[in-house]
Amino acid sequence: MVDQYGAVPDEVFAIEPNYNVAPSLHMPVILEKEGERKLDRYRWGLVPFWADDVNTGYSMINARAESLAQKRSFSKPFKSQRCIVPVNGFYEWKRAGSSKIPHYITSKSSPLMHFAGLYEQWESPEGETVNSYTIITTEANKPVSELHDRMPAMLLPEEFTDWLDPENRDTGALQDLLRPWPDDDIEYYRVSTDVNNVRNNGEQLLEPYRDLFS
């Protein structure tokens, strides 16, 4: 990630593989502070600076691209607190009757996908500081629309500088970056329902589903 983003770790910490990321977990993000790109770990689920409780973040793991400038929780970070969330892929569930079938979605061309995100800093009444982030979503492209009507907004490497620069407050131009990913660079396949339980983790979750009767 340091090579990919030209980022400097903000402190010494371990990053281990996580195959089933849940809200409230701390995961790597890329952001820019004082003219330098930083690699840090933030809590998934944005906690607005005005929130009464850190658990507010559970309802803000995603932010709709179309309404960033209008939403109280996201308008401030959209102007100057933007980040990139690096992932290898993500899960989406397709409804089948009363069931929801998980699928793993990834890029055909790159081992990393670059999700557009926003970050915030919150302080508890006791003085605890919580750094958190949300992932921006946009309309699904054609492949993903077969599973869901939304998908993460993803950035091209040549868009990193404009997105991360806190001095760039051209929200109109930034909004234009938040579009569906090209159809031909997305692939997905069904995986086991083991991923539905956040206590399950490990590389086996990415294995294609195999029907015992086929």
Alpha helices (H) along 1-91? 2-5, 72-80
Helix (H) or strand (E) holding 173: helix 171-176
Helix (H) or strand (E) holding 163: helix 160-164
Domain range for 68:
2-89+111-182
Paired with 91 in beta bridges are: 104
Stronger pLDDT, 149 or 96, i.e. the higher one: 149
Q: Is residue 187 part of a domain?
A: no
**Residue 18, domain CATH:** 3.90.1680.10
CA 44 to chain centre: 8
Q: Is residue 129 part of a domain?
A: yes
Question: What average pLDDT does range 87-108 have in this prediction?
Answer: 95
Confidence of residue 71 (pLDDT cuts 50, 70, 90): very high
Taking the CA atoms of 206, 212, 213 and 214 in sequence, report the sign of the dihedral they define.
positive
Q: What is the pTM assigned to this prediction?
A: 0.94
- Residues whose CB falls within 8 Å of the CB of residue 191, separated by 6 or more in sequence, listed in order: 91, 102, 103, 104, 205, 206, 207, 208, 209
Whole-number pLDDT of residue 176? 96
Domain total in the chain: 1
Whole-number pLDDT of residue 191? 97
Please count the other Cβ atoms lying within 10 Å of the Cβ belonging to residue 136: 24
Q: Is residue 101 part of a domain?
A: no
Q: Is residue 115 part of a domain?
A: yes
